[in-house]
């Protein structure tokens, strides 16, 4: 579940903080001097560590740190284990470190090539959708959602593909909170040890699933006599087909209308959009097989609670 993390442990939280004593514990240790301010940097395994006068910053992937790859995702107990390992190796209490970035991620084995699923994943409120050749991004200033081909990414980095993934379609879905972690999760604070409680761990999974859910899924619309019981149904199906054909264009048009202040009241724009959403997700449209498969696989994470 949890992949990359950024931790900050302030000098007060450490107690007897002495950067020079910790430096020998790091690999590739180096000293930096700028404007007569001295700091140190180095790493333990894959984690990048900076020792500053004000405190310690640690950045990197926790499952890689604990298991040397991020195929496995961290359970709640292994999260706690990674904290103990880190605290042990650096001899500092990292359970009280604050989290400044948190990535929740999972790799799914799919029936088709990862890229084929991108088209079914439409807009998401508050995010800008950006397509790349082998990845799909949703961005705003504090969060990021990414879908990508995990094997391709591994190969790009020149790492050997793990045997369990050979010849598999690996779709990775990541949800990254890059700013204001505690606010985003609605927690009073976001220290490392806040991740270990059952409630919070479940929060992470819920948030991850909710973000997936919030992405509008593109459906295929076909004229369907089954659900046609009134003239209104007929109209609605025709409308729904038209909107489906327009795709995102309809929403762009509403944006433009809004820019021109075309409607009398500001809430009309969101209501119109909601109407369109309802229409295009109604009975007369059909969920694609691809989305059904992805839905099933992502939502099955609920079973991995705890």
Partner DNA sequence: ATGCTATAAGGCATCGATAC
Partner DNA sequence: GTATCGATGCCTTATAGCAT
Q: Does 48 bind DNA (CB under 7 A)?
A: no
Element (H, E) at 60: strand 55-61
- x/- map, 50-89, DNA, by CB under 7 A: x-xxx--x--------------------------------
**Residue 50: strand, helix, or coil:** strand
C-alpha closest to that of 9 among 90, 93, 125: 93
**Sign of torsion over alpha carbons 45, 104, 296, 226:** negative
Q: Smallest distance, Å, CB 210 to DNA?
A: 10
**Sign of torsion over alpha carbons 202, 206, 207, 208:** positive
Q: Smallest distance, Å, CB 172 to DNA?
A: 21
- x/- map, 250-269, DNA, by CB under 7 A: --------x-----xxxx-x
Nearer to DNA (CB atom), residue 270 or residue 304:
270
Q: Does 235 bind DNA (CB under 7 A)?
A: no
Nearer to DNA (CB atom), residue 100 or residue 240:
100
Q: Smallest distance, Å, CB 147 to DNA?
A: 18
Nearer to DNA (CB atom), residue 101 or residue 297:
101
Task: Select the span of 35-43, 112-120, 164-172, 280-288 touching DNA (CB under 7 A).
Answer: 35-43
- x/- map, 88-127, DNA, by CB under 7 A: ----------x-xx-----------------------xx-
Angstrom distance (rounded) from CA 134 to CA 152? 8
Q: Does 283 bind DNA (CB under 7 A)?
A: no
Packed helices 76-90 and 198-214: angle between N→C axes, nearest 10 degrees: 120
Q: Give the DSSP letter string of 245-289.
A: HHTTHHHHHHHHHHHTT-SSSTHHHHHHHHHHHHHHTSTTEE--H
- x/- map, 159-188, DNA, by CB under 7 A: -------------------xxxx--x-x--
C-alpha closest to that of 175 among 153, 131, 142, 198: 142
At CA 296, angle to CA 295 and CA 297, rounded to 5? Answer: 95
How many residues at the interface with DNA, by CB under 7 A? 36
Angstrom distance (rounded) from CA 124 to CA 211? 9
Cβ contacts of residue 212 below 8 Å, gap of 6+?
173, 175, 298
Nearer to DNA (CB atom), residue 68 or residue 270:
270
Nearer to DNA (CB atom), residue 53 or residue 156:
53
Nearer to DNA (CB atom), residue 152 or residue 273:
273
Q: What does the binding site for DNA look like in residue numbers (CB under 7 A)?
A: 6, 8, 34-35, 37, 39, 50, 52-54, 57, 98, 100-101, 125-126, 140-143, 178-181, 184, 186, 258, 264-267, 269-271, 273-274
């Amino acid at each position: 579940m949890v992949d990359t993390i950024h931790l900050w442990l302030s000098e007060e939280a450490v107690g007897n903080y002495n950067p020079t004593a910790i430096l020998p514990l790091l690999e590739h240790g180096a000293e930096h001097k700028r404007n007569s301010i001295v700091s140190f940097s180095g790493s333990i395994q894959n984690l990048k560590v900076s020792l500053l006068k004000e405190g310690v910053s640690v950045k990197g992937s926790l499952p890689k740190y604990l298991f040397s790859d991020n195929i496995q995702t961290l359970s709640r107990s292994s999260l706690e284990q990674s904290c103990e390992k880190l605290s042990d190796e650096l001899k500092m209490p990292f359970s009280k470190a604050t989290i400044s970035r948190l990535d929740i991620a999972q790799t799914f084995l799919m029936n088709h090539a990862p890229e084929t699923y991108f088209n079914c994943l439409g807009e998401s409120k508050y995010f800008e959708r950006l397509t790349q050749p082998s990845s799909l991004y949703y961005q705003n200033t504090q969060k990021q959602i990414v879908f990508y081909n995990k094997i391709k990414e591994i190969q790009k980095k020149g790492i050997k593909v793990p045997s369990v993934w050979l010849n598999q379609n690996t779709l990775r879905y990541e949800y990254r909170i890059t700013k204001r972690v505690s606010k985003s999760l609605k927690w009073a604070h976001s220290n490392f040890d806040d991740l270990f409680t059952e409630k919070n761990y479940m929060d992470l999974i819920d948030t991850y699933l909710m973000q997936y859910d919030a992405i509008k899924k593109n459906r295929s619309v076909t004229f369907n006599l089954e659900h046609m019981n009134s003239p209104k149904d007929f109209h609605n199906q025709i409308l729904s087909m038209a909107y489906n054909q327009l795709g995102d264009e309809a929403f762009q048009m509403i944006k433009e209308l809004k820019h021109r202040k075309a409607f009398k009241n500001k809430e009309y724009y969101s209501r119109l959009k909601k109407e369109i959403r309802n229409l295009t997700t109604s009975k007369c449209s059909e969920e694609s097989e691809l989305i059904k498969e992805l839905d099933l696989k992502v939502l099955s994470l609920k079973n991995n609670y705890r």
